[in-house]
Amino acid sequence: MKTWATRLRASLAALSPRQIAMILVVGLVLGVFPLPGIPTFLCLFAALGLRLNIAALQLLNNVTSPLQLALWLPLERLGAHLCGSSLAPFAAPLGATALHAVLGWACVCLPAGVLLYVFARLLVHRYNGSGTHA
């Protein structure tokens, strides 16, 4: 376990501030995607497409799993409200409930991710003492 943590820390140390901020934001936003199992694949594809550290992104994805479960009902309720559905979450068909949760996630988490990226980028630059923006 200690060797694994050392390797992860070493691989993160070689990353630019932009990559660190991107890993944090992408891992959090995709990690709370409301359909179980899907965030793993979303994070893998995002890591490959954005050339991010796959292990770090998957680790953050796994850490956010409890948050994914905690946010499922509020995101589903928001999506149901946006769709005009008055059904209780467990009275609606499963497909509609999942669609509501994904809609709620898209309306809350994607814009929050953009704001979080800007904040994380500033924070990482300040932490590293870097005055240049990559």
pLDDT of residue 92: 62
pLDDT tens digits for the chain (134 residues)?
567 667 667 767 778 878 888 888 999 999 999 998 999 999 999 999 999 988 888 988 888 889 999 999 899 989 988 888 776 666 666 678 889 899 999 999 999 999 999 998 888 777 766 555 54
Q: At what angle do helices 17-31 and 54-63 cross, to 10 degrees?
A: 40
Task: Give the position of tokens 């005055």.
Answer: 131
pLDDT of residue 7: 66
pLDDT of residue 48: 94
Question: Contact 92/100 with Cβ under 8 angstroms?
Answer: yes
CB atoms within 10 A of CB 92: 18
If DSSP codes are grouped into helix, strand and coil, which group holds residue 8?
helix
pLDDT of residue 63: 87
